[in-house]
Structure 1
Amino acid sequence: MSKYFFEANYVGEGIKGLLREGGTSRREALVAALKSVGGSVESLYYAFGETDVLGIIEIPEPSDAAALSLMINSTGSVTVRLKPLLSVEDLDAATKKTPAYRAPGQ
């Protein structure tokens, strides 16, 4: 199970829907959407300013995360951005790998 940090913003009709339904209802919709791909919500917070909603979710496969992001963004009511989170152990494993790469101009 992979963890993702997410940021979301309500747009147009999404703002009106949030005002009608409230935050609890939108949390329930997110929980149901994540459950449909085998995921779950670790934390969820509403904010104001640049980002409306943020939190941490767990999703089994990257393709599930992509499918969920595509579905939510396709509504035009919410924009969502997912950022995969790595544990310190994941980073330790990455530092032991040496991928082949040639920098531009070298």
Structure 2
Amino acid sequence: MPKYLWQVTYSTTGAAGLQKEGGSARRDAVTRMVESIGGTVESCHFALGSHDMFVIGTLPDNIAAAALSIRTAAEGAARSESITLLTPEEIDEAVNRRTDYRKPGAE
């Protein structure tokens, strides 16, 4: 299954909810959501900076990732960005895959 990194940023409503229920409850809610669509959560971390939470997990496919993103955005409490993670072996396969490419301006 593809692995993803989700960068989550809370709205003021989401931050108020986090303040009310705490980090453990939020982690558990995120885990239930991911599991409900056939995925797993590997780790969940809160952070200081431009993003409030980072989650690493797996999902069956990109459609499942889109479903989670749309649902999260529709609720209005948080915005998430899904980043597909690749293993070193997948990069090995990618760099060895033949492609037909010509850089701009080259003959």
TM-score by length of 2: 0.89
In structure 2, stretches of 5+ residues that fail to align are none
What percentage of residue pairs aligned between the two structures are identical?
A: 37
Deviation at 1:14, TM superposition (A): 0.7
Provide the residue aligned with 2:37 in structure 1.
37
The alpha-carbon distance between structure 1 residues 67 and 103, as it changes in their structure 2 partners (threshold 3 A), is farther
Structure 1, unpaired ranges of 5+: none
Aligned to 2:77: 77
SS at match of 1:33: helix
TM-score between both structures, scaled by the size of structure 1: 0.90
Q: Letter of the 2:27 partner, please give it.
A: R
In the alignment, the residues of structure 1 paired with residue 4 and residue 77 of structure 2 have an alpha-carbon distance, to the nearest angstrom, of 21
Q: Secondary structure at the match of 2:64?
A: helix
Partners of 1:8 and 1:84 in 2: CA distance: 15
Q: What is the deviation of 1:28?
A: 1.1
Q: What is aligned with 2:20?
A: 20
Deviation of 1:103 (Å): 4.5
Quick check: 45-54 or 94-103, which moved more? 94-103
**RMSD over aligned Cα atoms:** 1.4
The code of the aligned residue for 2:49 comes to: G
Of 34-43 and 91-100, the range deviating more from structure 2: 91-100
Q: Residue 50 of structure 2: SS of its match in structure 1?
A: coil
